[in-house]
């Protein structure tokens, strides 16, 4: 995994500090916010909220990357109708917002093993447990995802024997 350029890392720190990074796994059922619009100012620091999701409980992100550190990856994922992420787990934490559509999430961490996340909901996936996201609807699901993963590990692990549970 390549290192984040200093200017991008500084922008990431600023974005997190001023609250533009999405925070996301048990989320509120509040109606999704209107589409964000760019902030047009003459300020040397500008921010555009790309997605927003609420959490009903406190969130703590802690990923031990050892001496290698951790990597942070931002990714847009589109899941077409009828498609699935496949069952997998993560070595670190994933923080996401459903930007469009409805994701059906299968995991033993949910009561009854399933939870549906809708447009504007946030998701937090911890390390180690197997889960799968499916698009059981008629339109694309678009997720905006931040991965915080130990350096050198894949963003998703599909060999379930390497998952904790």
Q: Mind listing the pLDDT tens digit for each residue in 4-29? A: 444 433 333 333 333 333 333 344 34
What pLDDT score does 121 carry? 95
* Distance (Å, whole) CA 19 – CA 155: 24
Predicted TM-score (pTM) above 0.85: no
CB 61 within 8 A of CB 92: no
63: Cβ contacts below 8 Å, ≥ 6 apart? 70, 92, 93, 127, 148, 149, 150
Structure tokens at 1: 């995994």
Is 106 or 49 the better-scoring residue by pLDDT? 106
Considering the chain, what is the average pLDDT of its residues? 80
pLDDT of 165 above 90: no
């Amino acid at each position: 995994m390549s290192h984040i350029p200093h200017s991008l890392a500084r922008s990431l720190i600023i974005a997190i500090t001023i609250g533009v990074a999405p925070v996301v796994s048990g989320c509120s059922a509040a109606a999704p916010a209107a589409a964000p619009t760019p902030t047009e100012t003459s300020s040397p620091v500008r921010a555009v909220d790309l997605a927003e999701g609420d959490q009903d409980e406190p969130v703590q992100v802690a990923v031990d990357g050892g001496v290698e550190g951790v990597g942070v990856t931002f990714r847009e994922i589109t899941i077409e109708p009828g498609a699935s992420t496949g069952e997998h787990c993560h070595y670190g934490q994933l923080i996401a917002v459903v930007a469009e559509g409805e994701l059906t999430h299968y995991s033993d961490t949910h009561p009854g093993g399933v939870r549906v996340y809708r447009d504007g909901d946030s998701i937090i996936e911890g390390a180690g447990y197997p889960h799968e996201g499916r698009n059981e609807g008629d339109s694309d699901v678009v997720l905006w995802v931040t991965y915080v993963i130990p350096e050198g590990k894949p963003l998703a692990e599909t060999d379930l024997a390497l998952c904790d549970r």
